[in-house]
Each structure stands twice: as C-alpha cells, then as structure tokens.
Amino acid sequence: MRNVFTVTIPSTGRHFTAAPGETVLEAAQRAGIALPYSCRSGVCGSCKATLLEGRCTYPRNPPLALSGTPPAQHAILLCQAVPASDLRIEAREVTSVEDIARRQLDVVVSRKWTLAPDVVGVALRPAPGQARLAWLPGQYLDVLLDEGRRRPFSIANHPQADGAVELHVRHVAGGGFTSWVAEVLKEGDRLRIEAPLGTFVPREDSERPMIFMAGGTGFAPVKAIVEHFIALGTRRPMHVYWGARSMADLYLRGLAEGWTRQAHELSFQPVLSDPEQAAIGGLRMGLVHEAVLADHPDLSGFDVYMSGPPAMIDAGRKLFVEAGLPEDRLYYDSFDYAPDVLAQIIGARAGIASAL
C-alpha cells in the first residue's frame, strides 16, 4: 500500500510529493511551492482548490468551509486535505511569497500604545543578534506560546528598513493572551514569533481597480497593503471600506482619510453597524459588505481584498462572486481565531451536528 503520493498542478506543470499524513498545503510548502491559505484549520476557505483527479481524506478537521459547495465542483481545502492517492488539482499559486523564508525569531517590544478602548498597538523589533524580518504587506505572524500554542496577528505595516513590525491587538473579554497583552505586556519584553505567514499579499500584475474591505482590526493588513500601493505610486483606483460597530472602533480613521489626499484615485468609506453611533458621527450606517455592493453592484472589473471577522468574510465570499467577481480575484484573510480556539469551535459544531 502506497503512503507517498504525488500532487500535480497541470496548469503550471509543477508537482510535489506528500508524505504519509501530510496535508496538500504542508507538502507544497515543504517543496517551496506557495499555495493560498489563511486560518489553516479548514474554516476560512481561502485555501480552496479544485480536485481534478484522485482522492483525499480529512483526518484532522472537517472541511467546514466547503459546506454549501455543490459536490459537482469537486472542491477541496488544501490545509486539511490529506492525499489518499495521486492527485491532480487546480490551485492558485502565490509565487511572490515563495522566496521569503519562514522562520522563528525573538523580538523585543519597542513601543505599546492605545489605539481604541479595546485595541492596543504593539511595535516589535528583532532582538539583538537577530536578523531583520522579511515579509510582504498583508502577511501575518504567530506569537509562540507554551505547550505549542500560537496566536496569529496580522502585520499592520509594510516592511521597514529597521525590521519594525506593527500589530493591532484587540482585547477580547476572557481571552487569556490578549488580556495579558493589554494589561501586562510592556516595552522591553521579549516574545518569540514565527513569520511571515499567509498569502494575503498585493497582486501587482493587474491594472484593475481595487476594493479593500476591512472589518474591525482586519484593518491592519489592509492598511499595510494600501500603504504599499501608495508608496509604489500606483494609478489604479482604490476604494477602501472599513466596517465597525462604533466610532471608537475606527481607531485610525484620520490616517485612512489622509490617504485620500496622498492618492487622488483613492476613496475611503467608514461604515458603522450601530445606527445611533452612525447618526452621532454622521457616518454611513449598515454592514460594510452591503455598502460595497450598493456602490459597486457589478464587481466583474475589480480585484477585491477583504480582511476581518469570519462572518464578514463568509458574506463577502458568497455575495461578491454573485455580483460578478471572479473567485480568483477575491483575496481574503480571516484571522480572528487561534488554531486551538478554532479546534474548540469545530468540536462544538461537531457535537451539535451529532445531536441533530
């Protein structure tokens, strides 16, 4: 019985082998081939690909992001699918991240400041003796904790000459690590991180106008990508939407408004879900994806980047494609839950399903 299988991507002619128990994504990364991913737990769907031939299993987590996908589409989730035969797949490759090595390093907290009542900014620099971190705008890092636990945070700035990394950390009630960051972490403290991670990065091989949609602290990677395009001097129109509940949650609204003065082809639309807060601030009221669709009912000519809570991502994935956006021009990052927290959510959902 064979335990090692070959995965082939016919559109590019690339192929790699998967060791026993290894997911397609893990095997591709080991081979230096960058396939799209975000949460790595089968929930967000950013690693969805088409299975052209072969069989795979899901021994780790159920492929929750495939729920509702018609069986005829033969979709698989690369982060959870373990080959049970040789495979032929159709998957997007993100070659821009292939030459950047992922590594672990020690960093020092060089600054900590308040962005909102429940959001703190944290700046990290490589610890003495550590090489500068390389990454692409929009990627994220994992803070490494004890017992193999990890906490993912998007990097909120594009690469700096001194290797400084900016994070936006929301304090979640009952969240042990975010509470520690908000209440205990101080300048001079050390953390161990792994980076860069993720494939939510700028696609520069396009001349299409871009829509950026952020929810809450999902603004962090959107900020990094938008500032990257501004620094490039792009002439592509950029439409930035930021959805939040209250005015305080738009913690860098002034910065985003400043972008409109730096780039003539950039517009910014803050959207608040709380009617009272929207009325007080004179801002647009509703859900942010609804605002995008109201302004752009036909998305067929756009590239769309979105980052934020899973519910927003799920709505955008479905409704934006229905509005004419080709799925291969929808780039997104859903990073709200750490892997061990996701495992608890998945377990709870599985328990509910078995009880039905």
Pairing type for strands 119-126 and 103-116 reads antiparallel
**pLDDT at position 355, please?**
47
Check: CB of residue 28 under 8 Å from CB of residue 78.
Answer: yes
User: Which residue from 54, 339, 279 is spatially nearest to 347, judged by alpha carbons?
Assistant: 339
**pLDDT at position 67, please?**
79
CA–CA distance, 52 with 119 (Å, rounded to integer): 44
CATH code for the part of the protein at 103-197: 2.40.30.10
CA–CA distance, 346 with 327 (Å, rounded to integer): 26
**pLDDT at position 28, please?**
96
Note down pLDDT in tens along the chain; length 356 residues.
568 999 999 999 999 999 999 999 999 999 999 999 988 888 888 899 999 999 999 999 888 888 776 665 789 999 999 999 999 999 989 999 998 999 999 999 999 999 999 999 999 999 999 999 999 999 999 999 999 999 999 999 999 888 899 999 999 876 689 999 999 999 999 999 999 999 999 999 999 999 999 999 999 999 999 999 999 999 999 999 999 999 999 999 999 999 999 998 999 999 999 999 999 999 999 999 999 999 999 999 999 999 999 899 999 999 999 999 999 999 998 855 555 555 554 454 455 444 44
Write down the architecture of domain 210-333 according to CATH: 3-Layer(aba) Sandwich (3.40)
Residue 271 has which token pair? 């959207």
> Cα 25 to chain center, whole Å?
16
β-bridge mates for residue 111, sequence order: 123
Query: In sequence order, which residues have a C-beta less than 8 Å from that of residue 10 and are 6 or more positions away?
Result: 52, 88, 90
Domain borders along the chain are 5-93, 103-197, 210-333
CA–CA distance, 76 with 55 (Å, rounded to integer): 10
**pLDDT at position 201, please?**
96
- Name the DSSP class of 132: P
Q: Is 288 left (phi over 0), alpha (psi -120 to 50) or beta?
A: alpha
Check: CB of residue 148 under 8 Å from CB of residue 338.
Answer: no
**pLDDT at position 196, please?**
96
Residue 3 has which token pair? 């335990």
Phi and psi angles of residue 91, each rounded to the nearest 5 degrees, phi first: -145, 145
At 132, the amino acid letter reads: R
Does pTM top 0.85 for this prediction?
Answer: yes
CA–CA distance, 191 with 313 (Å, rounded to integer): 30
Q: How far is CA 124 from CA 34, 65, 155, 201, in A?
A: 26, 33, 10, 21
Helices and strands of the chain, counted as H and E runs: 8, 19
> How would you list the strands of the sheet with 210-215, edge to edge?
284-285, 266-272, 238-244, 210-215, 303-307, 330-333
**pLDDT at position 205, please?**
92
Pairing type for strands 303-307 and 82-83 reads unpaired
Placement of tokens 């106008």 in the chain: 209
Could you tell me the fold of the domain covering 5-93?
Ubiquitin-like (UB roll) (3.10.20)
